[in-house]
Amino acid sequence: MADERRARTRARLVKAGHSLIAEKGVANLRIAELTGEAGVALGSFQNHFASKDELVEVVVRDAVQTLAAEIVDTPAAREGEPAAVAIAALRRFVRLAYEDPDFCRLLVNLSSGEELFVEAIRPYAQTALDRAVEAGAFEIEDMDIAVTSIVAGALAVIRRILDDQVGPDADVRLAQMTLLSLGVSAGDANRLASLPLP
């Protein structure tokens, strides 16, 4: 019972963190306001998080994992063309830099942002790639290296977009190059990389 109550309190703090960070940004996040939004006592924060930065990391990890699950772990994704689902996931994450630059800046500026991003996405990326390999769409000799390089590459492109170093279709170009590296023909790579995103 106490564990359930503790889990509920933590979930309320994280949910309030999502809301307040989206509304005001990290710099303006105040613990008293956070606990008020969550409807918990001020001292509850210290029972769950060592610092504001720790809460921010949890909020970012949760947001990344939620998006990954929405892309890869749905009935439509499980029934769709595996290569299309995998490459759509990559494109969706890269497109966050265009669609939600504030969130992406938060992610890349966290002290452990790259590690957090890779850890949060890795299981979903591996699932999507495994499905495509099983379907015969991708050729991957070393899954760990493939997942690491694809996820790290996405984060690097996100940084370049935020720095205005690449144009508006960087997600498509990265998708094409990634597909080619996974043994997909040029024609199929162009088709898959250009499909409308779900």
Segments in the chain below pLDDT 50? none
Cα separation of 105 and 102, whole Å?
5
Above pLDDT 70, what percent of the chain?
100
How much is the pLDDT for 179? 97
pTM of the model: 0.82
Which structure tokens are listed for 153? 């590459």
| Closest C-alpha to 134, from 178, 176, 82 | 82
Domains in the chain, start-ordered, CATH in brackets?
Answer: 2-49 (1.10.10.60), 53-194 (1.10.357.10)
21: phi then psi, degrees, rounded to nearest 5: -65, -45
Nearest CA to 55 among 31, 36, 39, 32? 31
pLDDT at 158: 95
Per-residue pLDDT, 129: 95
82-107 in b/e form (b: 16+ CB < 10 A) is bbbbbbbbbbbbbbbbeeeeebbbbb
